Amino acid sequence: MIHSLFLVNASGDIFLEKHWKSVVSRSVCDYFFEALERATEPENVPPVIPTPHHYLINVLRHRIYFVAVIQSEVPPLFVIEFLHRVVDTFQDYFGVCTEAAIKDNVVVVYELLEEMLDNGFPLATESNILKELIKPPTILRTVVNTITGSTNVGEQLPTGQLSVVPWRRTGVKYTNNEAYFDVVEEIDAIIDKSGSTITAEIQGVVDACVKLTGMPDLTLSFMNPRLLDDVSFHPCVRFKRWEAERILSFIPPDGNFRLLSYHVSSQNLVAIPVYVKHNISFREGSSQGRFELTLGPKQTMGKAVESVLVSSQLPRGVLNANLNASQGTYTFDPVTKLLSWDVGKINPQKLPSLKGSVSLQAGAFKPDENPTINIQFKIQQLAISGLKVNRLDMYGEKYKPFKGIKYMTKAGKFQVRT
Amino acid sequence: MSTMQKLLQLPVNAVNMVKNAQGIGQGEEEALSPVTPDGGTQNWYNAVQPEELRHLRFGGGGGGGEWSEEHPVQEEGLTSVQTQPLRHDDLKEMLDSNKDSLKLEAMKRIVAMIARGKNASDLFPAVVKNVACKNIEVKKLVYVYLVRYAEEQQDLALLSISTFQRGLKDPNQLIRASALRVLSSIRVTIIVPIMMLAIKEAASDMSPYVRKTAAHAIPKLHSLDPEQKDQLIEVIEKLLADKTTLVAGSVVMAFEEVCPDRIDLIHKNYRKLCNLLIDVEEWGQVVIINMLTRYARTQFLNPNVNESLLEESGERAFYASDDDEEDEDKKAEEAALPKRKPYVMDPDHRLLLRNTKPLLQSRNAAVVMAVAQLYFHLAPKAEVGVIAKALVRLMRSHSEVQYVVLQNVATMSIKRRGMFEPYLKSFYIRSTDPTQIKILKLEVLTNLANETNISTILREFQTYIKSMDKDFVAASIQAIGRCATNIGEVRDTCLNGLVQLLSNRDELVVAESVVVIKKLLQMQPEQHSDIIKHMAKLIDNIQVPMARASILWLIGEYCEHVPKISPDVLRKMAKSFTNEEDIVKLQIINLAAKLYLTNSKQTKLLTQYVLNLAKYDQNYDIRDRARFIRQLIVPTDKSGALSKYAKKLFLALKPAPVLESPFKDRDHFQLGSLSHLLNAKAGGYQELPDWPESAPDPSVRNQEEVIDSSEGRIGLLGDWRESGPPSSTLLEQSSGAEDRKRGRKAVKNQKSASESESESESSESEEEESEEESGEESESDTDIRKKKTPVSKQPPKQSKKESKKETQEMSLLDLDDFEPTTATAPVTPVNFMSSSLVSDLEGLSLTDSILAPTTIAPSGSIKMYELLHRIKGEGLAVEYCFSRQPFSPDPNMVAVQIQFTNNTNSETKNLHIEEPKLQSGMRVREFSEIEVLAAGDSVTVVMGIDFCDSTQAANFQLCTHTRKFFVTIQPPVGELMTPAFLTENDFKKEQENLLDGKLMGMNEISEKLSLGEKCVNEHIIVERVTATANLSRVPCGSDKECRFAGKTVSSGCLVLVTVATKEGVGAQLTVNCEKMVIGTMLVKDILQALSQ
């Protein structure tokens, strides 16, 4: 399956290589570099590149290309999903997944890769098992290791792989037993010129941070589970129980994990929490264009819209922008033509606006396209779909855990066409 | 074995070798370097040098894997020649030291070198000595090094083999596994026999984890030495029969790499794989599903065989997958094609579809895609729809995932457009999507366009045309063109829109529009001569060759529609001929030829001029074309017969091009595969076979089906039992674990049986057949296929069976058949007395001890309850049942039989009960302490509880030597009584007594009920009642009435039950009992049992 892995940074250098079968020369990456050159944007590199003897499957995360070399037929998603899992693991271990972090921890990276694949076939990809095998580096541990000469590799033999619940470590102990659940919903929407919604969907996830002693068995129920149209679960969730009773019953992994992701059916009307009034116009022959933007809250269920960030890719002919923001700051990058406006919180009494003029290249034609406006925002303590957790119960252990549930709504891919 | 012996002696020789190698290290290296796979050349060494040196000079301070920056300036003074002999000496020194910390440090730096792709092969002798190091991390890093370089240093690598051979014998399974893993990863041909031996041994290891590793090792060995294939296939065959989820994924992977064509190995394991699938780890699921897709294509019939004969165009949209709807569909189709033999889905085919469906909910995109392709290739048309939602969900994922999913959706949407129509808006394009995603989405949108949604789609397309991403705009224009050709209604609208685009400032947009317009005009040129004129004007401005060529072709082709303009265009083109691109030149020649034929008066000279220019062109294509055309159109004395037909040749009516999706017909590749994505066969791709004309013999899949549950995982479906109680119509075996699994099976089987029944009536005959079969065979034949039919037809047979003594014996024999195959230690058969048996044999004298072992198990008479789940109990599973035996130490107690199963790897000691918390009056007689319960063992004990004739739970603590668990036993009301043997007269007398004695009516509870579908005869009623409550049957004159009697265990109150059946399904249930609460509850329970 997966033959080798090369890590390539943004400037096109291979900074790590790992082979699971016999060694494949790094010159195979030349085909990848060719494709990289052809692609106008970094994300336009085709994920699968055929070469005379190999196939290269790559993913781009954190400005690093993870290029896997395979030699024969294998489902491409298999490799892609695995590579993403590798990145997630790195992120889990090092906090960030950057070139520097990988270089600093190259030995741990190598040990991880060694455990994750055997002869190119995934072996242990559960973070809980890996952490039993290889302890994540922390500052304290690094210091201790340097002094005492002890190692990062788990002393005892890992039994997690053999357990009936492979996603959970055995012998977990905490002094404070806590279970936190974050219900995060994202609104994906396309709003057309006139302000009417072309398409809007809500995608949500329930992320959990569970720090409970022993082998707890949790059940989580929703007030309105029928809202969930399409769901996908962490393997720990008992599917039949969900099918029958719409209750999430599971023995949680230790630590952070994504319990559930869901889609709220598109038949339901989606509340759009912000509106945009815009007037962007360029006149023929003139080197100036008008630019006006006003934001306002729409259906927010009485909650404040925060961390609002507006960005827009202006046409290539635009030279500069002279704008006035009633609130927050704006920046315009004359090279990439990217305008971004950090609005902050929307005050319903005094709506934030960005007004002014944009200057065009002299003699250039009026751009025939209008820019799309991308909006990001956050609303705390609100799940826009109305989903509510009913209760969380724990069985199998005697202590009383501390339970917490947080709701949040965010903009996903929220675009306004002008 | 000579090689083996050689190897065992090897270490002595090898030590010498090490010395030599160290001595000649550098010389060897020089020779090696040009051939190292890194392509390391001398230049490359120079580049490396400074870095390695830095460690030397600064003592290599800092943590392992430190990344030094290169300072070429600093190193200027040193030449590579000088530094060469010093290479890695410090590392060697560190590796030779006694301190683990130094060794570790050195290994870390070496691994960092490997990671960067630097050559560290000269350190091999120094590293390999540490293979037996005590420090685990050093050991692991040595393994990393060894696996990387063993291939290059085969002789030295042999040094390490003995360490691994020792590891293979280690009592710890994890060490055995890791030894095998590294041993098999060393690609040294000489150890092939050792590997083979190790794999064979590991394949029959006790630990499933080691067996999994053995499965992983198979492809490694196969790639090292393909000649071992036959032996490896034997190992694969053996491992395929393995019943643990841990092994399943890995062995199928090995199967796919070594012998994917040996489909015959799968037959016997097919059903097991289907059933295990849900619990297999996600990567294994992908591999198994893909393999099963191929398997199913060879073994089952095409479920859409009837539809594919119908017109494909009459596609209907199917979104739901409800069974009723499907049935309706089927019926409708059958009605439409009365002559065709109705299609009956093989139950195994159904099993696969049903067991994969929940995996659509997996978090792993690869699993979802695998299931989606399985449904696309195997499911009846009406059911394919379920995958759309899951695929649309994947579109939220990373862009690479989107890319692959969209490719597959594009292929699917051509075949099954209806499936994705409801999700049309999910494919709308955002300006932030990468271009390659945009283009794929556009493809899908185009495929989904039809008469009803075209207006929305075109409105979307209009927005796209204004995008800043020009490649995307070009693709949008082509998409509009395709919509216009496919949907006649919007052709004119599209054409007008495209013509407007001709005045766009961006040349690429114009060019693309021209190309598309050309194709559209070909469909109806007469009406559009003004557009052609407009385009003729454009020729002055457009520079894009393809567009110019298109315009010229249009003018030439329709020169009769624009007779005045065309000669002028030719004039212009003749002028610029030499500067044109090749494709334009060819079209100029074509235009000239066509004009010469239609309007030779005006264009004769121009044509000759053009042809003369072309004659001396650099491109041979153009020269050839010119020569050919001159001969054809200019009449000379030599010109042959063809010139007469020149006009016909050039101005023949040409069919309009069909604009097709590039994804058309890609579905002959298995979806989700690499080959599909590339639209070319990738190495190792296994063709998806066509459906067979007639199904091969399905009986090849029959096998002994016993699944060892002790190693199963709790996956998505793990707790079937919680949602569906074990089927009560199957024979229950004594082992608790067995019961559970079989219960699971039974639930599934029942479903499938009813499904297959509803699918077609013709399955009826088949059913009867198999019923006969199973009538002859024993009841506990575990084969699903045969089992399935008896399930629905059980009732009559059951009665037959019980009337015959022979069959009872037979079931005893089968019990024996069963036991050796179970992995959990066999449990002593439970001695229990079936009350229905008691009633059947009432006339005889009863002696428990004789009859007990020959008990038949009428449906669900013994139901296991869970006392402690094995997860909560940390591997200790406890189940209990009410054995219905009198509890000899105290007749007022209910006997509770408790079964302990130890699923852990260690012994559990001192199992006993502590601190019963009981309601007042209740008493417990504990079982004697179990001193030791070995790993994997089960033991059964009996304890007595006096529930005081109430259904209050008995709470107590179950203690092991380490832990205490709070557990609860709650008896169903029916277990609180023992059978009482009365005659008909006694029964009536007692009943009257009860009624007369005290308050009338208080002691009698009567309820009307309608019997459930399956309660067709008296026997079933008896069975159901006795299963619910521990009562005995009272003989009765009337065949419309069934009577039962019992006493409560604790106080000995009589309980009398009468079930009087009426016409049809109606019945009357009467319970007489002094204890009102018990009476009421009993009525409730019996009512439920009967109306099911």
Instruction: Report the relative pairing of strands B923-925 and B938-946 from DSSP bridges.
Output: antiparallel
From A27, A107, A413, residue closest to B65, measured CB to CB: A107
Encoded tokens for A174: 């905490």
Helix (H, G, I), strand (E, B) or coil at B1005: strand
Q: Does residue B677 contact residue A48 with C-beta atoms inside 8 Å?
A: yes
At B476-521, the pLDDT tens digits run: 999 998 888 888 888 888 888 888 887 777 778 888 888 888 888 8
Q: CB–CB of A244/B723 below 8 Å?
A: yes
* Region of residue B39 (phi > 0: left; psi between -120 and 50: alpha; otherwise: beta): left
Cβ contact (<8 Å) for B463 and A231?
no
From B283, B364, B425, residue closest to A199, measured CB to CB:
B425
Give the distance from residue B830's alpha carbon to the nearest chain A alpha carbon, in angstroms. 28
The pLDDT profile of chain A, 418 residues, written as one tens digit per residue, is: 899 999 999 888 999 999 998 888 989 999 999 999 988 888 889 999 999 989 999 999 999 999 999 998 999 999 999 999 999 999 988 888 999 999 988 989 998 998 899 888 988 888 878 887 788 876 666 666 666 655 555 555 555 555 667 788 777 888 899 999 999 999 999 998 888 888 888 999 999 999 999 889 999 999 988 888 888 998 889 888 888 888 999 999 888 899 999 988 666 678 888 999 988 888 776 778 888 999 998 887 888 899 999 999 888 888 888 899 998 899 999 888 899 999 999 888 889 999 998 888 876 667 767 788 999 999 999 888 888 999 899 988 888 899 999 999 999 889 998 8
Contact B148/A at CB under 8 A? yes
Interface test with A, best of B206, B245, B431 (most A CBs within 10 A): B431
3-state secondary structure at position B780: coil
Residue % of chain B over a pLDDT of 90: 15
Residue A316 makes CB contacts below 8 A (sequence gap 6+) with A337, A367, B468
Q: Could you tell me how far CA A200 lies from the centroid of its own chain?
A: 20
The per-residue pLDDT for range B895-909, each reduced to its tens digit, is: 888 888 887 777 777
Higher pLDDT, B443 or B980: B443
Measured between beta carbons, which residues in chain B are less than 8 angstroms from residue A376?
none
Pairing between β-strand A217-222 and β-strand A389-395 as defined by DSSP bridges: antiparallel
Q: Are strands A48-50 and A55-61 parallel, antiparallel or unpaired?
A: antiparallel
pLDDT value of residue B823:
38
Q: CB of B459 within 8 Å of any CB in chain A?
A: no
B108 touching chain A per CB within 8 A: yes
SS3 at position A196: coil
Q: Which residue has the higher pLDDT, B370 or A321?
A: B370
- Average pLDDT for B869-875: 77
Between B831 and B140, name the one with better pLDDT. Answer: B140
| A164 Cβ under 8 Å from any chain B Cβ | yes
- Measured between CB atoms, does A58 come within 8 Å of chain B? yes
For residue A263, list chain B residues with Cβ-Cβ distance below 8 A: 389, 393, 396
Task: Select from B447, B371, B444 the least CA-distant residue to B402.
Answer: B444
- Least CB-CB distance to B140: which of A111, A121, A201? A111
Facing residue for B468 by CB, picked from A110, A166, A313: A313
Closest CB to A413 among B223, B370, B430 = B430
Is A198 in Cβ contact with B425 (below 8 Å)? Answer: yes
Give Cβ neighbours of residue B847 (< 8 Å, ≥ 6 apart). Answer: none
Q: Is residue A121 within 8 Å of B216, Cβ to Cβ?
A: yes
Closest-CA distance of chain A to residue B958, Å: 14
- The β-bridge partners of A233 are A260, B362
**pLDDT tens digits, one per residue of B616-639:** 989 999 999 998 888 888 777 666
Which candidate in B172, B391, B716 is best for mutational testing of the A interface (most A CBs within 10 A)?
B716
SS (H, E, C) B14-28: HHHHHHHHHHHHHHH
Confidence of residue B761 (pLDDT cuts 50, 70, 90): very low
Average pLDDT, chain B: 74
Residue of A nearest to B221 (CA): A119
**B115 touching A (Cβ < 8 Å):** yes
Alpha-carbon A150 to chain mean position? 35
The share of chain B scoring above pLDDT 70, in percent, equals: 72
Rg of chain A, C-alpha, whole Å:
25
Contacts of A395 in chain B (CB under 8 A): 872
B residues 368-407 near A, CB within 8 Å? 368-370, 389-390, 392-393, 396, 398-401, 403-405
Span B261-284, pLDDT tens digits: 888 899 989 999 999 898 888 999
pLDDT tens-place string over residues B131-173: 888 887 888 888 889 888 888 888 888 888 888 888 888 888 8
Q: What is the mean pLDDT of residues B967-992?
A: 81
Best mean pLDDT range from B185-194, B303-312, B868-877, B1004-1013: B185-194
Closest by CA position to B369, among listed A261, A80, A362: A80
Query: How many helices (H) does chain B have, and how many strands (E)?
Result: 47, 15
| CA–CA dist B833, B856 (Å, integer) | 9
Alpha-carbon torsion angle B600, B602, B603, B604, nearest 10 = 60
The C-alpha angle with vertex B676 and arms to A37 and B394, in degrees rounded to 5, equals 80
Chain A residue numbers with beta carbons less than 8 Å from the beta carbon of B39 are 25-27
Is the dihedral angle over the CA atoms B425, B426, B432, B434 positive or is it negative? negative
| C-alpha dihedral (A130, A135, A138, A139), degrees to nearest 10 | -160
CA distance A176 to chain B (A): 20
pLDDT exceeds cutoff 90 at B711: no
**C-alpha span between B917 and B955 (Å, rounded):** 5
Residue B308 is predicted with a pLDDT of: 54
Q: How far is CA A346 from CA A188, A343, B28, B217, B604, in A?
A: 20, 7, 72, 61, 76
Residue B305 burial by CB count (10 A; 0-12/13-18/19+): exposed, middle or buried?
Answer: middle
Q: What are phi and psi of B688, to 5 degrees?
A: -85, 115
Please check the confidence at residue B806 and state whether its pLDDT lies above 60: no
Cα–Cα distance for residue pair B55/B555, rounded to 1 Å:
75
Rounded to 5, what percent of chain B is helix, strand, coil? 60, 10, 30
At residue A296, what are phi and psi to the nearest 5 degrees?
-155, 155
Nearest CA in chain B to A241: B723
Q: Do A203 and B396 touch (CB under 8 A)?
A: yes
Q: Would you state the pLDDT for residue A148?
A: 60
Cβ-based neighbour number of residue B84 at 10 Å: 13
Interface size, chain A vs chain B, as Cβ–Cβ contacts under 8 Å: 301
Which residue in A has a C-alpha nearest to residue B386's C-alpha? A230
Q: Span B743-753, mean pLDDT?
A: 44
**Closest Cα in chain B to A148:** B101
Q: In b/e form, how buried is each residue of B1047-1085, taking b as 16+ CB within 10 angstroms? A: bbbbeebbbbbbbebeeeeebebbbbbbbeebbebbbeb
Residue B1029 pLDDT grade (very low, low, confident, very high; cuts 50, 70, 90): confident
> Could you say which DSSP state residue B637 is in?
S
> In this structure, is the dihedral angle defined by the CA atoms of residues B855, B856, B861 and B866, taken in order, positive or negative?
positive
Give the per-residue pLDDT at A156. 55
Residues of A in contact with B172 (CB under 8 A): 157
Mode of pairing for the β-strands spanning A228-233 and A255-264? antiparallel
**Single-letter residue type at B914:** E
Q: Do A230 and B366 touch (CB under 8 A)?
A: no
Q: Does pLDDT of B424 surpass 70? A: yes
DSSP state of A277: E
**Single-letter code of the amino acid located at B420:** F
A 68-97 residues with CB < 8 A to B: 70-78, 80-82, 84
Beta bridge partners, A5, equal A18, A68
CB contact under 8 A, A80 and B365: yes
Residue A72 distance to chain B (closest CA, Å) = 5
Instruction: Identify the three-state secondary structure at position B711.
Output: helix
A73·B673 Cβ contact <8 A: yes
Q: Distance between CA atoms of B60 and B112, rounded to whole angstroms?
A: 13
Distance from the Cα of A336 to chain B's closest Cα (Å) equals: 13
Residue of B288, B286, B321 whose CA lies nearest to B672:
B286
Dihedral sign computed on CA atoms, order B116, B120, B124, B126: negative
A166–B281 C-beta distance less than 8 A: yes
pLDDT at residue A266, as a whole number: 61
pLDDT computed for residue A5 by the predictor: 94
Selected residue of A4, A119, A212 to mutate for chain B interface (largest B Cβ count, 10 A):
A119
Contact A14 B680 (CB under 8 A): no
pLDDT at B92: 85
Which pair of structure tokens corresponds to residue B36? 């190292």
Report yes or no: A103 at the B interface, CB cutoff 8 Å. yes
Minimum Cα–Cα distance from A24: chain B residue:
B37
pLDDT of residue B783: 43
